[in-house]
Amino acid sequence: MEILVATHNLHKKEEIQQILGADYVVTSLSDYDLNEEIVEDGDTFQANALIKAKYCFDKTGKASVGDDSGLVVEALNGRPGIYSARYAGNHNFKKNIEKVLSEMKDEPNRRAYFITVLCYKDAEGEHYFEGRIYGNLTTEVFGEDGFGYDPIFVPDDYNQTFAEMKAEEKNKISHRSEALKKFLEFLNAKGGVI
């Protein structure tokens, strides 16, 4: 069963494939030669996820999934939020991390959460699935794996950042994993037919 995901990010595609398992074939924008930039100008995670899912569906007619994810930091009034990927430079996560750590310097409240909102779009309409994982920000970078803000986020009940964890371990508990599990339950309830 094919699921078209609105991304060129190979890492994200692999992560989604790993979470969904062998019953699904995850394809991406690259597989369909869709290279124009999708303008994410929504003002919520839901709006941006819909923009991406609708773009894929309109271009291919295939049932599509768009997602928007971000880091929400309590002490920064929810920033970087929907601007997570371009907080200090477009998809430059080294700079983005530096900016967050700089803004959090001497801040005792390190509470934050990662959120993913998935939008599934097909001929029948749209459905949304949300996942969150709560934790704390570190004061420096730890770990080499993962992507985005993974090196500065320690989930509750763990003593390692996402970037220090093995992919399998992170994928069991991540915000994207939680949203995808809800999505899988929805697909199974529909009889698995896309």
Tell me if residue 145 is catalytic: no
Torsion from C-alpha of 109, 76, 111, 87, nearest 10 degrees: -130
Distance between CA atoms of 1 and 149, rounded to whole angstroms? 31
| Long-range contact pairs involving 168-172 (C-beta distance under 8 Å, separation at least 24) | 168/18, 170/145, 170/146, 171/15, 171/18, 171/19
Among 41, 68, 106, 157, the one annotated catalytic: 68
Angle at the Cα of 155 from the Cα atoms of 149 and 23, rounded to 5 degrees: 80
Which among 19, 2, 9 has a CA at the least distance from the CA of 178? Answer: 19
Distance (Å, rounded) from C-alpha 26 to C-alpha 6? 10
C-alpha to C-alpha distances, 76 to 44, 124, 149, nearest whole angstrom: 17, 38, 15
| Nearest to 113, CA basis, from 140, 141, 93, 84 | 84
Separation of alpha carbons 178 and 115, rounded Å: 10
Question: Mind telling me the catalytic residues?
Answer: 68
